[in-house]
Amino acid sequence: VDSWIASKDEEFFRRGIRILPERWEKVVANDGQYFE
């Protein structure tokens, strides 16, 4: 896990944090069902 985290650049994590609200909206809208 440590090597995977170290292999990612800062923008990878920034982007992941920025898209969290959108992803949570999808989860809520789909009643927690799996989607891609």
Q: Which two tokens stand for residue 20?
A: 């969290």
pLDDT at 33: 85
pLDDT at 34: 82
Task: Return d(Cα 23, Cα 29) in angstroms, integer.
Answer: 10
pLDDT at 17: 98
pLDDT at 15: 97
- CA distances to 2, 6, 21 from 25, in Å: 30, 29, 6
Q: For the chain, what are the domain ranges?
A: 1-30
Task: Return d(Cα 22, Cα 31) in angstroms, integer.
Answer: 15
pLDDT in tens, 1-36: 999 999 999 999 999 999 999 999 998 999 988 877
pTM for this structure?
0.61
Q: Which two tokens stand for residue 4?
A: 């995977």
